[in-house]
Amino acid sequence: MGNLKVLGIESSCDDTAIAVVEDGRTLVSQAAASSAKIHARYGGIVPEVAAREHTMAILPVLEETLERAQIPLAALDAIAVTEGPGLLGALLIGVTFAKALGVGLGIPVVGVHHLEAHLYANALIAPITFPALGLLVSGGHTTLVLWEGHGQLKVLGETRDDAAGEAFDKGARVLGLPYPGGPQIERLARTVEVKSGLRLPLANLGSKSLDFSFSGLKTATREMASTHPTRRAEIALALEDAVVRALVKITERALTQYPVADLYLAGGVTANGALRQAMADLAARRQVRLHLPPMGLCTDNAAMVAALGYYRLGQGHRMKNDDSARTTYSLGD
Amino acid sequence: MSSKDKSTITFRWHNLYEMGRVAEACARLWRPPTVVLFEGDLGVGKTSLIQAVLPMWGVPGRVKSPTFDLVHMYEASSITVYHADLYRINQADELDALDLPEPRPHEILLVEWGAWIRDWYRERWDALLAMESDGLRVLRLQAHGTEPLQRVAEWEA
């Protein structure tokens, strides 16, 4: 028997993605259909649109994944699927598809937590070194975890209001930029040649808190944009700088409280170049190893689902017949 | 801090302490079953006000922005709160997918960017938030329907 091939299925939000990963480590192939273009028109994720898109996309995406891997369905050893959290209609399509495929092929199916899976994008580079700190930053989440082993996560802090990616999305809307806001803000910010004095404030939640707060940035960005209507690029830079500073500050505080040697980033905002640089500087300063997911696996993908699924299968987790999607699913639950 | 006419109560606040007082007033005015539809510019404080109201109903834990997830549900001992956000909605037929409830006796529905669904609820509050000079926040709370109008009539500004 060769390597263990796990098929990963991700449909919790706007992408229908499927991947084959060997031994939780090696990405064999992946394919995805994104409804991001449709969402761009709506300025966000719309559940009905998402569910319809997933239904249409899931079978062709599976076929494409297997074709790229040049393996038949029968070569799969197990299936991992995102069971939550996420939009009900979207999750149900992935979960139902996975269960049916599992029954048809007579192979085990395991459900995984979407956010925990994001951390496992890092496992596709090298096995995770525990204990570690993990920082998940995306459009819907900003969460800091103490990660002591496979399946052993403790939430140390999270956003009290808006996620970091939401701060980018809403800031972009204020500046008249399209969705998703993160890459747009970054692109506009890079056009600033001489750094100006424009600065947005950071939330202060107390000197020991490991929580985040980004909702104040909306008001501050809006006010700055109306005071300085011709300085949009500088405002984009100020917004990016405020988000990055907040993330670095709280992560550094967590490293002081939990002095581990490894720091893992995950989630779509991890694609931001300024954040990557600032975290690299932090890691050098604190002498910790910084782990960044592969650039193409920062946003939602199925490789991370398959990678986490591999470890959960090893621990004996299986999805039962009556298990369904879990729209609200706490990390570490 | 507050003033009223026949159907509208107006609150004004300058800081978090005063917002807490307004939240207390809202928590008393909005009793289940009810619907509150919030409108107001990005960053005016819709979510912040809701975050201040929910603990007063005994909702434990954190109240985060529902923009990404669209609907969050909270359960306390005698009340269920749906906190929805229609910021991402762009056309009316998308609303059906959200399964927003007609509130049952123990339920409250709070909807940010709620103007979309005004026609759905005859009995409701429209909560219009605005920022005036110097960060002064104004909440115009308009009662629609028998029960909310009755609450305004009983209210002592």
List the structure tokens of A59: 């079978």
Largest CA distance in chain A: 67
Residue A327 lies in a domain: no
Residue B58 lies in a domain: yes
Residue B108 lies in a domain: yes
List the structure tokens of A21: 């990963």
Residue A199 lies in a domain: yes
pLDDT value at residue B91:
75
Can you tell me the distance from the alpha carbon of A193 to that of A188, in angstroms, rounded to the nearest whole number? 11
Q: Calculate the dihedral angle through the C-alpha atoms of A190, A196, A197, A203, rounding to the nearest 10 degrees.
A: 0
Of A76, A17, A330, give the one whose Cα is nearest residue A9. A17
Residue B140, Cβ density class (10 Å: 0-12 exposed, 13-18 middle, ≥19 buried): middle
Q: Which residue has tokens 């004996």?
A: A316
In sequence order, the 6+-apart residues with CB closer than 8 A to the CB of B128 are: B38, B39, B40, B139, B140, B141, B142
* Whole-structure pTM value: 0.86
Regions in chain A scoring below 50 on pLDDT: 1, 38, 42-43
Q: Clarify whether residues A272 and A135 are in a common domain.
A: yes
Q: Clarify whether residues A142 and A273 are in a common domain.
A: yes
Split into its structural domains, chain A has a count of 2
The alpha carbon of residue B151 is apart from the nearest alpha carbon of chain A, in Å, by 30
The alpha carbon of residue A139 is apart from the nearest alpha carbon of chain B, in Å, by 7
Mutate to test the interface with B, among A45, A174, A219 (most CBs of B within 10 A): A219
Domain containing A23 equals 5-121+297-314
Mean pLDDT of chain A: 92
Sheet strand arrangement including B137-144: B2-4, B8-13, B137-144, B124-131, B34-39, B107-112, B80-85, B71-75
Provide the CA A331 distance to its chain's centre, in angstroms.
13
Q: Clarify whether residues A101 and A159 are in a common domain.
A: no
The alpha carbon of residue B51 is apart from the nearest alpha carbon of chain A, in Å, by 9
Does residue A222 sit at the B interface (CB-CB below 8 Å)? yes
| CATH number for the domain harbouring residue A274 | 3.30.420.40
Residue B3 lies in a domain: no
Residue A58 lies in a domain: yes
- Please list the alpha-helical segments (H only) found in chain A: 36-42, 47-69, 88-105, 114-119, 164-174, 181-189, 215-227, 232-257, 273-286, 303-314
| CATH number for the domain harbouring residue B131 | 3.40.50.300
Residue A323 lies in a domain: no
Domain containing B86 equals 8-156
Q: Clarify whether residues A84 and A158 are in a common domain.
A: no
Residue A213 lies in a domain: yes
Q: Clarify whether residues A48 and A154 are in a common domain.
A: no
Residue A324 lies in a domain: no
Query: Is B65 in contact with A328 (Cβ distance < 8 A)?
Result: no
Query: What is the Cβ-side half-sphere exposure of residue A32, based on CA atoms within 13 angstroms?
Result: 22
Q: Clarify whether residues A249 and A135 are in a common domain.
A: yes
Q: Clarify whether residues A165 and A248 are in a common domain.
A: yes
Q: Clarify whether residues A145 and A99 are in a common domain.
A: no
pLDDT value at residue B85:
92
Residue A139 lies in a domain: yes
Split into its structural domains, chain B has a count of 1
10-residue block means of pLDDT along chain B (157 residues)?
91 94 96 96 93 94 85 88 88 72 91 93 96 90 96 89
Cβ atoms A247, A212 nearer than 8 A: yes
- Nearest CB partner across the interface for A42, out of B41, B64, B88: B88
pLDDT, tens only, A97-133 = 999 999 999 999 999 999 999 999 999 999 999 999 9
Residue B1 lies in a domain: no
